[in-house]
Amino acid sequence: MKFTRWPLAGVTALLLTMQAQAADGQKIYAQGGANPAAMACGTCHGADAMGMAAAGFPRLAGISAGYTRKQLADFRSGTRANPIMQPIAAALSDEEIQAVSATLEDMPTQSYAMIGRAEKAEGVGAALALRGAWERNVPECVACHGPGGVGVGEGFPPLAGQSAQYLSGQLNAWRQGARKNDPNDLMGHIARSMTDAEIQAVSEYFANLVHTEVSQ
């Protein structure tokens, strides 16, 4: 087997570049982008990126960089509408989006119990989260978002650790057609099949899940 031998100078340069990219992401989050319109993310999402529940700003820490990049690109293109995020995303360069997304993925967040379909479901919110409503072709949330709603890959973000206000706001946006950047209108169909009470109940279920520890 033949191994490629990298020159020491090349390896050092690569490491320095990676460190610079990480530092840039941290700077963008804390201070904003080069364009003044790209304000600091921490202003709304908190210094630890765990969100500000009372104001409806979501947790960003620990979320897949691929998912965050797509959302920023969708805000920029107008595919996902939000009066605050659209001008910010439009002011970020591709490199800045890449850097801040990677930084957010690496930020520590809370861990949650891996509650799955086999767990007992008490109440409307738990029933929707763990069993779904298949008579309306509504799958259980954990089928896509993973046990405990901790998120799966780049396509399905975490629900655990988000506020009920944010989660219900997104479900209502899908139901009303204000948000439509999901594949094959999956979330649009689910949201339109739910009542106001069900949206509130399942949002509160995930918002109230007890975290176990802080993971790096």
Q: List, as residue ranges, the binding site for heme c.
A: 41, 44-45, 85, 141, 144-145, 187
**Do 156 and 145 contact (CB within 8 A), yes or no?**
yes
Residue in 110, 97, 102 with CA at minimum distance from that of residue 71: 97
- DSSP readout, 176-213? HTSB--SGGGHHHHHHHTS-HHHHHHHHHHHHTPPEEE
What is the spatial distance between Cα 48 and Cα 180, in angstroms, rounded to a whole number? 29
| Binding residue numbers | 41, 44-45, 85, 141, 144-145, 187
121-127 LR contacts (CB < 8 Å, sep 24+): 123/201, 123/205, 124/197, 124/198, 124/201, 124/202, 125/198, 125/201, 125/202, 125/203, 125/204, 125/205, 125/206, 126/205
